[in-house]
Structures are given as C-alpha cells and as structure tokens.
Amino acid sequence: MTTEHPTITRFRDEHERRGGTGDVVILPDAVHTAALAAAALGCEVGAIANSLLFDAGGTPVLILTSGAHRVDTAKVAARIGVDALRRATPEFVREHTGQVIGGVSPIGHPDTVPTYLDSWLRRHDVVWAAAGHPAAVFSTTYDELVAMTGATEIEVD
C-alpha cells in the first residue's frame, strides 16, 4: 500500500469541505508545466489553470491563469491596485501556500490569499488545476473554481 503525499491529502480534505465535485488524478510523473499537464491529461493547454503565486510587496497574490497565457505583471498589478507583482521565491510560495512551485493548488492555503482568475478559462467546460503536489491535478469548472476560491475574474495579458 502506498501512502499519499500529505499535501494531496490536505487538498482532498479542503476540496471536499468547499464542495468540489471534480476528480483528483495522480499522474505518474510531476507535471511542472501546463504543456506537460495537458499532454498527460489529453486536453488543450488552455484548459490548464496554472496557480501562480506572486509577491506584491510582501503580500501574496494568487493568479489562476490559463496555460495558454502569460501573466503581464505590470498590467495585472495596475488592474488589482498594487505597485508591482514579482515572481515569488520558492520559500515565499511554501510559506504562503504550504505547497511547492509546480504543485500549488487554488485552495487549501494556511491563510486566505487574494486570488484572481483568468477570464479565458471560462471557454473550457472542464478546467484542470494542481491539487497540492506537482504530480496531482483535479478537474473542475470555471464556476466551481470561482465558488471554491472566491476569485475575482481578470484579464491577465
């Protein structure tokens, strides 16, 4: 019997608590990029919701963006009213999410993190996001992701 990684177990518990209905899938290998995740799942790269944590002057900001997009940090910073968004260090990501880069889920963080959702993801019936570990993903819908995260819709590019 194999033991599930604790971050996946915590994700499953939080997913259930928030009323998530999708499936958690453990892939045979870590999928650190949207392209790798899409290939492993057999879906379009645009249906992958990358959970990107940024540092806004010491405050974490989570951007859930389509794998088909890159975040224009200057435009997004202006849209959300912060001076700047900087790429978070691995230590900052772990401190504010309890997870590692490549496995950050949209939910289940130690404290509330302001979250923004790429409106482009609305185009997909099924959206896939990380489930707390680089080899774990879960299926959801755009509306369910908004409901579970309380995210504000935003254009990221």
pLDDT confidence bin for 37, thresholds 50/70/90:
confident
pLDDT confidence bin for 2, thresholds 50/70/90:
low
Sequence-distant (6+) residues with CB within 8 A of 88 are: 53, 54, 55, 60, 96
Q: What is the pLDDT of residues 43-69, one digit of tens each?
A: 999 999 999 999 999 999 999 999 999
Please state the separation of Cα 35 from the chain's center in Å: 15
- Residue 126 tokens read as 């099924």
Question: Which carries the bigger pLDDT value, residue 37 or residue 123?
Answer: 123
Domains of the chain: 6-154 (3.90.960.10)
Q: Which runs of E-coded beta strand occur in the chain?
A: 24-26, 48-56, 59-66, 86-87, 115-118, 127-130, 136-140, 152-154
Q: What is the pLDDT of residues 65-124, one digit of tens each?
A: 999 999 999 999 999 999 999 999 999 999 999 999 989 999 999 999 999 999 999 999
At residue 146, the pLDDT reads 97
Q: What is the pLDDT of residues 126-144, one digit of tens each?
A: 999 999 999 999 999 999 9
Please state the separation of Cα 1 from the chain's center in Å: 29
At residue 98, the pLDDT reads 95
